């Protein structure tokens, strides 16, 4: 049982690492396509549509919503929400709070490293409606919030939570294109990067309440073969004779 548990964990780690490797390969592919100009139609088309929508009658109101979503999903806003969630989780599930913290911090460092590697400039098609000083690819808002809200969805485990978190992820990603500070391909690459990192982190998700119990131990505890009776045959015989009386 123990050997099988170790083997299952190794397979899970391999799958998680494979998912991250595949995600990073896709990010590299998007970066190459973007630099060769093969994504110009998509990027210019969608950002141009956002620019025209910004100038429409309801554009000002939508811009306020997008600026708010972008602020919530920014580094400061995201880490403030992270701190609040970790504090709320700590007393009843400290291991899960620690997992959430490590997942978000690790994903942020991964994105910062990726930005330095690709060193892509910000788009200049539209006036920027947000102050930006870092590189553009892959989007830190998209990757960071995919990891943070995705992790919250995993911890919540309900369909309604998944829908709510997915809506937040989509809105924050779209806001970066609307504000003119990211190409759509930057956002797409950030989402893929975040998903890959989340798949790897999912392997180490603790059990509820901060107490992780191995699968083989649970099975043995719930089965009579794994209890005290299996270790002491005389106790089994004595208990059986007692029940008969």
- List Cβ neighbours of 153 (8 Å cut-off, separation of 6 or more): 161, 162, 164, 165, 166
What per-residue confidence (pLDDT) applies to 99?
97
As averages over each run of 10 residues, the pLDDT of the chain (245 residues) reads: 70 94 98 96 97 93 97 96 95 93 98 97 95 95 98 95 98 98 98 98 78 38 40 44 43
DSSP state for residue 206 in the 8-state scheme: P
Q: How many CB atoms lie within 10 A of CB 1?
A: 12
Those residues with Cβ within 8 angstroms of residue 215's Cβ, 6 or more apart along the chain or in another chain: 5, 8
Where does 191-232 show beta strands of DSSP type E?
none
| Cβ partners under 8 Å of residue 200, min gap 6 | 16, 17, 19, 20
* Three-state SS letters, 23-84: HHHHHHHHHHHHHCCCCHHHHHHHHHHHHHHHCCCCHHHHHHHHHHHHHHHCHHHHHHHHHH
* CA–CA gap between residue 175 and residue 145 (Å, rounded): 12
pLDDT of residue 91: 86
| Annotated domain spans of the chain | 11-51+61-207
Task: Let me know: does 153 contact 166? Beta carbons within 8 Å.
Answer: yes
Q: What is the pLDDT of residue 245?
A: 38
Pair 186, 139: CB distance under 8 Å: yes
- pLDDT value at position 137? 97
180 torsion bin: left (phi>0), alpha (psi -120 to 50), beta (else): left
């Amino acid at each position: 049982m123990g050997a099988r548990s170790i083997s299952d964990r190794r397979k899970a780690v391999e799958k998680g690492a494979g998912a991250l490797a595949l995600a990073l390969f896709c990010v590299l592919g998007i970066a190459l396509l973007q630099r060769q100009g093969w994504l110009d139609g998509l990027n210019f088309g969608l950002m141009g549509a956002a620019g025209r929508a910004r100038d429409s009658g309801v554009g000002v109101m939508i811009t306020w919503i997008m600026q708010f979503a972008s602020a919530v999903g920014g580094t400061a806003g995201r880490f403030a929400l992270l701190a609040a969630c970790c504090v709320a989780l700590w007393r009843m599930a400290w291991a899960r709070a620690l997992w959430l913290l490590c997942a978000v911090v690790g994903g942020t460092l991964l994105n910062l490293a990726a930005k330095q590697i690709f060193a892509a400039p910000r788009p200049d098609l539209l006036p920027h409606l947000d102050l930006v000083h870092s590189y553009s690819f892959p989007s830190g808002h998209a990757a960071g919030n995919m990891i943070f809200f995705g992790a919250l969805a995993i911890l919540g485990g309900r369909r309604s939570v998944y829908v709510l978190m997915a809506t937040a992820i989509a809105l924050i990603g779209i806001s970066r294109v609307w504000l003119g500070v990211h190409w759509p391909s930057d956002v797409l690459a950030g989402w893929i990067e975040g998903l890959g990192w989340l798949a790897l982190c999912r392997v180490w998700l603790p059990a509820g309440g901060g107490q992780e119990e191995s699968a083989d131990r649970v099975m043995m505890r719930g089965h009579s073969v794994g209890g005290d009776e299996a270790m002491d045959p005389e106790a089994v015989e004595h208990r059986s004779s007692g029940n008969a009386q």
